[in-house]
Homo-oligomer: A and B are copies of this chain.
Amino acid sequence: MSEETAPVHRFLTYRLARVQSKLNAQASKLLRAKAGLSLAQWRILSLIGGNPGTRATDLTRISTMDKGQFSRKLKTLVDDRLVVVSVDPQDHRILRLRLSDSGQVLYDRTLPHMRKRQADLKALLGPGEEEAFLGVLDKIEQTLERDLSRPADASG
């Protein structure tokens, strides 16, 4: 009964949303200051930096973005000469993505700050807490993946 009457703002999802919103604000502030990038731009830049030569489709799959969003953000990075696009010689539909020299410089300069941010977050957590936390996230995500492919009333 105490769970039944828990106030809405104590819901797991509310608290996740609050934390996520603050994490976003923090990362955005940091990226604007250090690299002049939006969070979405950094996501793409870092995905390319960590996986040079990968196809756009694969990066779309790894990130949460759909291909439309991805394409538009990618365009801003290409316009700023941070990313270089080349057509796959075998299959001309496929784009291979790499950082330009200046993109690489920006990536190399920014990544340590972002890693430090992750490390600072991890340092908050006790032994085993990170694994437990990620485990819960994975469980939830897997369930949601099944759920989101079904009609709205299937989950109550």
Contact = CB atoms under 8 A, between A and B. Distances in A.
A46 B29 CA distance: 31
A6 B111 CA distance: 11
Specify how many copies of this chain sit in the oligomer.
2
A19 B140 contact: yes
B32 A23 contact: no
A114 interface: yes
B27 A23 contact: no
Interface in A8-52: 8-9, 11-27, 29-30, 32-34, 43, 46-47, 49-51
A90 interface: no
A127 interface: no
Contacts of A88: none
Interface stretch (A71-79, A93-101, A148-156): A148-156
Top 4 A-B pairs ranked by shortest CB distance? A33-B152, A116-B156, A22-B144, A8-B46
